[in-house]
A and B are shown apart, each in its own frame.
Chain A
Amino acid sequence: MDGSVLIAVASIVTAGITTGVGCMCPALAEGRAVAASLTSLAQQPDASATITRTLFVGLAMIESTAIYCFVISMILIFANPFWGQVIAHAAGK
């Protein structure tokens, strides 16, 4: 297994695992956030504007970690810096 195959395998496997983990954990966290806000909405319906706004801000913060994982996966697949070097090396040979 020479260098280029290793880089390709590592990039693909890492991209897959990153997306997998990056989708699971924020989804769990967002589920808990929505559940808590639903409970508080049921208890105090007149604070619904504040609760909804805070819920959306919190969801965006949680979502941003999922977006970080997605961006890393996209970089590994489409804009891989190491793969570019491998291609240049193979073309130069």
Chain B
Amino acid sequence: MNLTSDQRIFWQHGFVTLNETIVTTWALMLVMTVGALLITRKLVTDGPVSRWQALLEMIVTAIEKQTQEVGLAQPEKYLPFLGTLFLFVAMAALSTVIPGYQPPTGSLSTTAALALCVFIGVPLFGIEEQGFVGYLKTYTQPTFIMLPFNIISELSRTLALAIRLFGNMMSGAMIIGILLTITPYLFPIVMTALGLLTGMVQAYIFSILAAVYIAAATRARKPKPAPAANP
């Protein structure tokens, strides 16, 4: 029984394997990049806006607003990173409507890679915002005794991000597979719809958690600036 889409191999030479996960990931990347290039070729700022541009604008402004609500003051700095995370996971989940498609996020490799991106990105954003020493000092907040716990929490929440996404996507596919052998007609369709819903929720959760981690790392501990003198 195929637990993940890693086990379906298309081509193998030595230790280089081309399995279904890689092919699906690259296909998704191709579709998203080509689609974005085609839509943003002619952007208009005034006058009638095409449907696709309106769709992209809705998505981008929604992500920007959510990032701002989480507590990041300059969402445009983090918009590419968080937007890519959300759009990739959401697209991977939505494409389940295509028959014969297995989501690449149902493989621990993909979700571990995404979680590693967050693991590396959060200190990078923190260092960019607060300087190297300032960021390292956040590990000793609120007291110095918390240093090992802060490090452990940093590692464990990365692991949790990976396993949460992997478990949700894999369990969706597995439940549908098991139900197909028990009650083939109605319940697999209902469970596929539920899988779509949980896929979108998990995409949102992944990006919101990444935003929260970045916000926690970049929360400025600068002293408040003096109020402007009244003329």
Partners in one complex: yes
A residues near B (Cβ < 8 Å) are 49-50, 53, 56-57, 60, 63-64, 67-68, 70-71, 74, 78-79
- 4 further A-B pairs in the complex, CB-CB below 8 A; given A50-B69, A57-B212, A60-B164: A60-B209, A71-B163, A71-B170, A78-B1
Q: Which residues of B does A touch, CB under 8 Å?
A: 1, 3, 66, 69, 160, 163-164, 166-168, 170-171, 174, 201-202, 204-205, 208-209, 212
**Which A residue's beta carbon lies closest to that of B2?**
A78
Q: Which 10 A-B pairs have the closest CB atoms?
A: A67-B167, A64-B164, A60-B205, A71-B167, A78-B1, A78-B3, A70-B171, A79-B3, A64-B160, A57-B208
Let me know if B163 and A60 touch, CB within 8 A: no
Taken together as a complex, chains A and B put the C-alpha atoms of A27 and B2 apart, in Å, by: 28
Number of A-B contacts (CB under 8 A): 43
B174 touches A67 (CB 8 A): no
Distance from B195 Cβ to chain A, minimum over Cβ atoms (Å): 14
Kindly name the residue among A49, A60, A70, A71 whose own CB sees the greatest number of chain B CB atoms within 10 A.
A60
Q: Of A50, A56, A67, which is within 8 A of B171 by CB?
A: A67
Is the pair B167, A64 in contact by a Cβ cutoff of 8 Å?
Answer: yes
* CB of B90, distance to nearest CB on chain A (Å): 15
Residues from chain A with a CB closer than 8 A to the CB of B166 are: 71
Question: Which of chain B's residues have a CB closer than 8 A to the CB of A74?
Answer: 3, 170-171, 174
Contact B168 A67 (CB under 8 A): yes
Rounded to whole Å, the gap between the CB of B93 and the closest CB of chain A is 14
Q: Is the CB of A56 within 8 A of B168?
A: no
Known contacts A53-B208, A71-B163; is A60 also within 8 Å of B201 by CB? Answer: yes
Q: Are A64 and B163 in contact (CB under 8 A)?
A: yes
Give bound CA distance, A70 to B167, whole Å.
Answer: 8
Q: Given A67-B163, A74-B3, are A57 and B170 also a contact pair (CB < 8 Å)? A: no
Q: Considering the chains assembled together, what is the distance between the CA atoms of A78 and B212 in angstroms?
A: 35
A68 touching B204, Cβ below 8 Å: no
- Chain B nearest CB from A15 CB (Å) reads 13
Q: Residues of A contacting B171 with CB < 8 Å?
A: 67, 70, 74
Tell me, in angstroms, the Cα distance from A91 to B3 when the chains sit together: 24
Question: Given A64-B164, A68-B167, A74-B174: A57 and B69 within 8 A (CB)?
Answer: no
Question: Contact: A56 with B164, CB < 8 Å?
Answer: no
16 CB contacts below 8 A, A to B, read: A50-B69, A53-B69, A53-B208, A60-B164, A60-B202, A60-B205, A60-B209, A64-B160, A64-B163, A64-B164, A67-B168, A68-B167, A71-B166, A71-B170, A74-B170, A74-B174
Interfacial chain A residues near B1, Cβ < 8 Å: 78
Q: Are B167 and A56 in contact (CB under 8 A)?
A: no
Would you give the shortest CB distance from A67 to chain B, in whole angstroms?
3
Question: When chains A and B are docked, how far (Å) is the Cα of A56 from the Cα of B212?
Answer: 14
Residues of B within 8 A of A50 (CB): 69
Would you give the shortest CB distance from A12 to chain B, in whole angstroms?
16
Task: Give Cα distance in the complex from A57 to B208, angstroms.
Answer: 8
Shortest distance between the CB of A27 and any CB in chain B (Å): 15
